[in-house]
A = this chain, B = another copy of it.
Amino acid sequence: MYVHKGTIYFFNTKNCYIFVGEKNNLLVCPSTLYIIRYMNKLPERIRIKDIARLADVSVGTVDRVLHGRTGVSEASRKRVEEILKQLDYQPNMYASALASNKKYLFVCLLPQHKEGDYWTDVEAGIKRAVETFSDFHITLSISYYDQYEYASFTNSGKEILAREVDGVLVAPTVPEITSQFIEQLQKKEIPYIFIDSNVPSLRPLAFFGQKSEQSGYFAARMAMMLGERPKEIVVFRQINEGRLGSNQQENREKGFRKYMQEHFPDCRIVELNLYAKRPDEDEILLQRFFIEHPQINCGITFNSKVYIVGEYLLKHNKKDFKLMGYDLLSRNVHCLKEGTVDFLIAQQPSVQGYCGVESLCNHLIFKKEVKQCNYMPITLLTVENIDFYLDAHKKQI
């Protein structure tokens, strides 16, 4: 457990090596190759002092270059940067961030939901990220909006804008309403990340989610196979006062209809609207629907609540209906295992939440580049393959 000076210490299998020099200096490298190069070519010369000597500048100049401060001539900066590059010198962003006293407030704006709903998993990912980066003085608070009330998004947005916020994670509502909030963030130069659905025109720092239209397009192909080219297919929706409540639901349905138009223009698409705020009516609406449309034997949902239909089928022991939906809510998985839901499409909600917060940290704290568009895989799960998916994803974030 004691440091042997001049020895390579390997602390992590992934991407971090630490070299402890004779003078008690530490170097962090992505690979021991770099350390070995230093040891052979520049033994014990890995300190700022040595970089300064190589560049023929003062230690203060190297420090200024490393920290992006002014007061360095262009020529000196270039020389120092060249040497840093040759040495693959990695200034330790983590250590500087830790040393800094800067505090960060992140705010998430997510749809209101109940425990066990889709957003529970997103929040789990967000919380894990906050834990991971807790050393960097970050605080995160979550605000909620009613998916079916645009004013609710706007009001929550205003509350966020009234605070001293450093970064925002948003699950966007319809583009028109989202843009009002985003424009204010842009004015204040507050970075924002989108998760779940993207509004590319609002140019977020990063987006994490499925390509919704393509996901609906894929779902259509699978549903038509599942239903054996049905003549009619029903789309079960969650609405409130005529509104769908999520871009995902809308865009997936768009992609679905595009596929149908291209491949099965004669298949009739029937809609059954279920009322998000009046779940008590689901039973009677479904009952009425199945009485009125006895010939329809295939349906799909583009929201995460396929279990509403699946549990209805289970309760009424209705086995002749093919059904597919989205997301691995435990009630959905239960229906899949019981056979009333045939297919589920997964989209890694906790990864979306985790990566959203991580991106804010990378951008604001570690000054790393952030990839703008990050699509989640579109994964088809059935009773035959779901266990292997769940098993493999347990290990992941």
Contact partner of A384 among B1, B24, B25, B221, CB < 8 A?
B221
Does A8 sit at the interface, judged by CB under 8 A?
yes
Asked if A14 and B12 sit within 8 Å, CB to CB, the answer is yes
Q: Mark A1-44, 1 if CB is under 8 A from B, else 0.
A: 11100011111111110101001111110001000000000000
Chain B proximity of A15: nearest CB distance (Å): 7
Does A138 sit at the interface, judged by CB under 8 A?
no
Asked if A13 and B214 sit within 8 Å, CB to CB, the answer is no
Q: Which residues of B contact A215 (CB under 8 A)?
A: 385
Q: Which residues of B contact A358 (CB under 8 A)?
A: 13
Asked if B382 and A221 sit within 8 Å, CB to CB, the answer is yes
Q: Mark A229-259, 1 if CB is under 8 A from B, else 0.
A: 1000000000000000000000000000000
Q: Which residues of B contact A91 (CB under 8 A)?
A: 1
Does A92 sit at the interface, judged by CB under 8 A?
yes
Q: Which of A104-112, A139-147, A373-381 contacts B (4 or more CB under 8 A)?
A: A373-381
Q: Which residues of B contact A97 (CB under 8 A)?
A: 10
Chain B proximity of A287: nearest CB distance (Å): 29
Q: Interface of chain A, helix or strand or loop or mixed?
A: mixed
Residue of B nearest to A14 (CB): B14
Q: Mark A367-397, 1 if CB is under 8 A from B, else 0.
A: 0000000011111101011001101100000
Does A338 sit at the interface, judged by CB under 8 A?
no
Asked if B25 and A18 sit within 8 Å, CB to CB, the answer is no
- Interface band, chain A: 35 or more
Q: Mark A123-138, 1 if CB is under 8 A from B, else 0.
A: 0000000001111000
Contact partner of A375 among B16, B92, B392, CB < 8 A?
B392
Does A217 sit at the interface, judged by CB under 8 A?
yes
Asked if B1 and A25 sit within 8 Å, CB to CB, the answer is yes
Q: Which residues of B contact A99 (CB under 8 A)?
A: 7
Asked if A28 and B13 sit within 8 Å, CB to CB, the answer is no
| A94 in contact with B10 given A25-B2, A384-B221 (CB within 8 Å) | yes
Does A225 sit at the interface, judged by CB under 8 A?
yes
How far, in whole Å, are A207 and B230 apart by their CA atoms in the complex?
A: 42
| A218 in contact with B384 given A2-B26, A389-B377 (CB within 8 Å) | yes
Asked if B25 and A133 sit within 8 Å, CB to CB, the answer is no
* A162-216, CB < 8 A from B: 210-211, 214-215
Q: Which residues of B contact A217 (CB under 8 A)?
A: 384
Q: 20 A–B contact pairs at CB < 8 A? A: A1-B48, A2-B23, A9-B94, A10-B98, A11-B16, A12-B15, A12-B16, A12-B94, A13-B94, A13-B358, A14-B14, A18-B18, A32-B135, A214-B388, A215-B385, A225-B226, A376-B388, A377-B388, A378-B389, A380-B380
Supplied contacts A16-B16, A217-B384, 19 more A-B pairs, CB within 8 Å: A1-B48, A2-B25, A2-B47, A3-B20, A7-B99, A11-B92, A11-B94, A12-B94, A210-B388, A214-B384, A218-B384, A218-B385, A225-B225, A225-B226, A375-B388, A375-B392, A378-B385, A378-B389, A380-B380
Binding site for B on A (CB under 8 A): 1-3, 7-16, 18, 20, 23-28, 32, 46-48, 91-92, 94-95, 97-99, 132-135, 210-211, 214-215, 217-218, 221, 225-226, 228-229, 358, 375-380, 382, 384-385, 388-389, 391-392
The 7 A-B pairs of least Cβ separation, nearest first, read A218-B384, A378-B385, A225-B225, A12-B16, A377-B392, A10-B94, A377-B388
